[in-house]
Structure 1
Amino acid sequence: MTRTTPPRPVSVEAVFPDLAAHRGRTTRLHPRPGRPGMHESHVGGPMFWPGDEPWPMCHEPHQPETEGYAPDEIRSARAAGAWPQSRPWPGSVPPGQEGPVPFVGLAQLFRRDVPGLAAGPDDADLVQLFRCPFTHGPYQERRYHLRWRQAAETEHTGRFLAIPPEVPLLRWEHELPEPCVLHPEEVDTYPWAEDDTLPAPLIARIDAWEDAQEAEHGDDAPSYQGDLSIPPGWRVGGFPSWASTGPMHIACESCASPMRLLLTAGGEETDAGSQSWLPLEDRDLTRRKTHPTPAARSVAEPTRLRFGRDRDLHVFTCPADPGHAPRWVLS
């Protein structure tokens, strides 16, 4: 099934013609629980990974844990609509101290499936995203890993990894992604309006318009940030949202070039401030109820992943040289 973003509640370029010069495109991925294959773009599905290639491992020290959830028990509990049982951490050695920890595969995207996906090093057309399942240091930092591939070249390897390595316990249930198929859809997008993301006079006009809308319509007033600029959830390209941190200048640590947004991973596809972005096909499933149904949760939190305290994970790459190290920003 396709996913269709409704028309915006207000024609933003009719209200602010200057924004036409700043218009961009983003591809909403619309992940929904399913059974994707290794040859498909997905979140949480089997990775297109050669059988003779080592799985990515995190070699850094990790924060000690006292309890966790077994991956297979998480899967069984989700299938039954229940919550998994936590277990004491086995042994006395903190996770990662006894050896490297396998990364968790979060997503893979083929350029053939996802309009606007930037090319990787040597024109690579497949990107795979991983996260270490544990935290690092006193600030509970996360480690991510990006792997680029030539899809056709990888296909020639012939033998692929069937079952990737897993840690025996995950600290949180939301460390394990729910396998999701994607429904890519391109939409127009506009920069976050704060600091120097747009010309100062234009931002001032947007702020004044939002104040006037709120005075006239109250809580139901459309807002630029919530309804007109950047959609929520998983998306490729376009502009980053800066709701938690405020705008940041992201430069390549190798060459100082301004970096571009490769993709955004979000824990929620919709929330109270972004209802207008809910796809038409999902509206009947998410009518407000006292207790959300499993169908409604599959729309609001399809991947079951979280990033920080319900933030977005922005992955930036260097347009001057995609082989330079990516940067990860939670906002």
Structure 2
Amino acid sequence: MTRRTPPRPVDVEKLFPEVAPLRRQTVRLHPRAGRPTRRDSSVGGPLLWPEHQPWPQCPEHQGSPMVPVLQLHAADALGLVPFPQGCDLLQVLWCPRDHDGRWVVPEVHWRDAAAVGSVREAPPVPVPVPYGRVPKPCAVHPERAAEYPSWDLDEGLREALEPRFDLLEAETGWVYHHQLSTAPGTKLGGYPGWCQDPDWPDCAGCGKRMDHLLTVQSSEADALSRLTWTPVEDRGTACDGAGLKLGDMGGVYLFECRTCPGRPYEDRFDCS
């Protein structure tokens, strides 16, 4: 089913023209419970994993297999993220067990779907695993949406705009940071769905700030953001997405360098 994000309840760029140049596009994936196959784009679904390639193991837990988090065909990226030459499939896995200072340890793979051939079955989920670390199988319903920086606003600009944000909230009830700026939920590109202060990594190879690749959030929206970001088709229904609980309903954020060979990546995480 198509998912359509409703327009913002006010004209953000008219009220705050300073954020207009900062507008970005994101692909909201809208994961919903389903039965995706290994040929489908999915969150938490089976992967099109080559039989000849070993299944990823956690580097911190000897012999502990990673679990599928995302599989996305290039067509479902809606032209937002450039795939490496010769690749049309993005796969993300992570180890869901406890780690020293990290919720999960992720791994990113790019591949040519047509070249996979015979497929390897995923190994059983390792045990014990904390609740909410393994996403339930979900179909995705990609949709491009415009968004503006929330916690990623430059500190000086944020301080300058806060009085007008407060005035808008007093007059209309709309909260810029939750209801007008950055799209919540699991998404591709755009701005990370930070719960706390931004923590963008720099590439160890070239020193440049990495690009945001993927946000994986515990829920599709919190009580405030769902008032304006819930798709038209889901109004009046409960959408628990992939059933994740990352920390205190936080998120995992993947970043990549699109300049250096091999597209090195880093991860960050936070919660409220």
- With structure 1 as the length reference, what TM-score do the two structures score? 0.76
Instruction: Compute the displacement of 1:227 (Å).
Output: 1.2
Report Cα offsets for 1:289-320 as digits up to 9, x if no partner.
xxxxxxx2xx1x22012223211211100021
Change (3 A) 1:31 1:24: same
Give secondary structure in 1 for the equivalent of 2:179.
Answer: helix
Separation (CA, whole Å) in 2 of partners of 1:120 and 1:321:
14
* Residue aligning to 1:71: none
Change (3 A) 1:322 1:279: farther
Give secondary structure in 1 for the equivalent of 2:222.
Answer: coil
Query: Which of 150, 156, 175 is 2:133 aligned to?
Result: 175
1:64-75 aligned at under 5 Å gives the runs: none
Contact 2:202 2:210 in 1 (8 A): yes
1:288-303 aligned at under 5 Å gives the runs: 296=238, 299=239, 301-303=240-242
Change (3 A) 1:321 1:125: farther
Q: Please say which structure displays the higher CA radius of gyration.
A: 1
1:269 aligns with 2:220: yes
Report Cα offsets for 1:149-205 as digits up to 9, x if no partner.
122333xx2x112x31124533233232211101111111112255xx3472x4234
Identity %: 38
* Residue aligning to 1:211: 166
1:148 aligns with 2:103: no
Separation (CA, whole Å) in 1 of partners of 2:133 and 2:199:
27
1:1-331 aligned at under 5 Å gives the runs: 1-61=1-61, 99-137=62-100, 139=101, 141-154=103-116, 157=117, 159-161=118-120, 163-167=121-125, 169-193=127-151, 197-198=153-154, 200=156, 202-217=157-172, 221-244=173-196, 246-275=197-226, 276-285=228-237, 296=238, 299=239, 301-321=240-260, 323-331=262-270
Change (3 A) 1:322 1:308: farther
Give secondary structure in 1 for the equivalent of 2:235.
Answer: helix
Instruction: Compute the displacement of 1:117 (Å).
Output: 4.5
Change (3 A) 1:189 1:214: closer
Give secondary structure in 2 for the equivalent of 1:203.
Answer: helix
Range 120-129 or range 12-21, more displaced: 120-129
Aligned-residue RMSD, C-alpha: 2.0
Contact 2:199 2:268 in 1 (8 A): no
- Runs of 4+ residues deviating >6 angstroms: none
Contact 2:205 2:260 in 1 (8 A): no
Separation (CA, whole Å) in 2 of partners of 1:20 and 1:270:
24
Higher helix share: 1
Stretches of structure 2 that go unaligned for 5 or more consecutive residues are none
Stretches of structure 1 that go unaligned for 5 or more consecutive residues are 62-98, 286-295
Contact 1:27 1:235 in 2 (8 A): yes
Contact 2:103 2:246 in 1 (8 A): no
